[in-house]
Amino acid sequence: MRDRINAALKDAQDEGDKRRCATLRLVQTAVKDRETSAREHGEDGVTEAEVVEILQKMIRQRETSAVEFESSGQLDLAEQERVEQEIIREFLPPQLSDEEVKALCEDTVKEIDARGLRDIGRCMSELKARYPGKMDFVQASCFVKDMLRSNGSNGHQSGTEEAGNG
């Protein structure tokens, strides 16, 4: 993935695309910062999964900024944030749709027999292991939380089973 980012930066420089160059340099810097931090803590560097996490975080930051710019009437800045999002998104693996994420969350909740909010961590660990880089885990966490919240509020008929699993 890093090779693709480097090649894209070189292409953007050749084409004179300043926005793309600046965005790709920000990506490279974020990855290098994480690598430096990892090495300082005795690790080998960053994995592809960590690069994906960095990219997803950068996309979320730009989404938040775009919304803030829109609400303050700075539409040109909001558009710049959205353009940067799309540039960064090019390097992510194909993402699952909202409907697919929701369905996979439901399946995972059922499969691991999650019953309440205390099981969010188990669900999220399972989703991250099964679908690394393919979904927005912040969004997935919201779906899981909603599902478990509703399970906890109307799932008391199985109280005897729940006591046996604890």
- The pLDDT value recorded for residue 53 is 86
Q: Which CATH number fits domain 98-155: 1.10.3470, 1.10.3290, 1.10.10, 2.50.20?
A: 1.10.10
How crowded is residue 121: how many other Cβ atoms within 10 Å of its Cβ? Answer: 12
- The pLDDT value recorded for residue 153 is 52
What tens digit of pLDDT does each residue of 7-64 get?
999 999 999 999 999 999 999 999 999 999 989 999 888 888 888 889 989 999 999 9
Q: Report the length, in residues, of the chain.
A: 166
- How many whole angstroms separate alpha carbon 102 and alpha carbon 141? 10
Alpha-helical segments (H) within the chain: 2-15, 18-40, 48-71, 75-89, 98-111, 120-130, 137-154, 159-165
Is the pLDDT score of 157 beyond 60? no
- The pLDDT value recorded for residue 132 is 80
What residue spans define the domains of the chain? 2-89, 98-155
What is the topology classification, in CATH, of domain 2-89?
Hypothetical Protein Yqey; Chain: A; domain1 (1.10.1510)
> Who wins on pLDDT, 93 or 29?
29
**Per-residue CA distances from 3 to 48, 51, 108, 143 (Å):** 11, 12, 34, 34
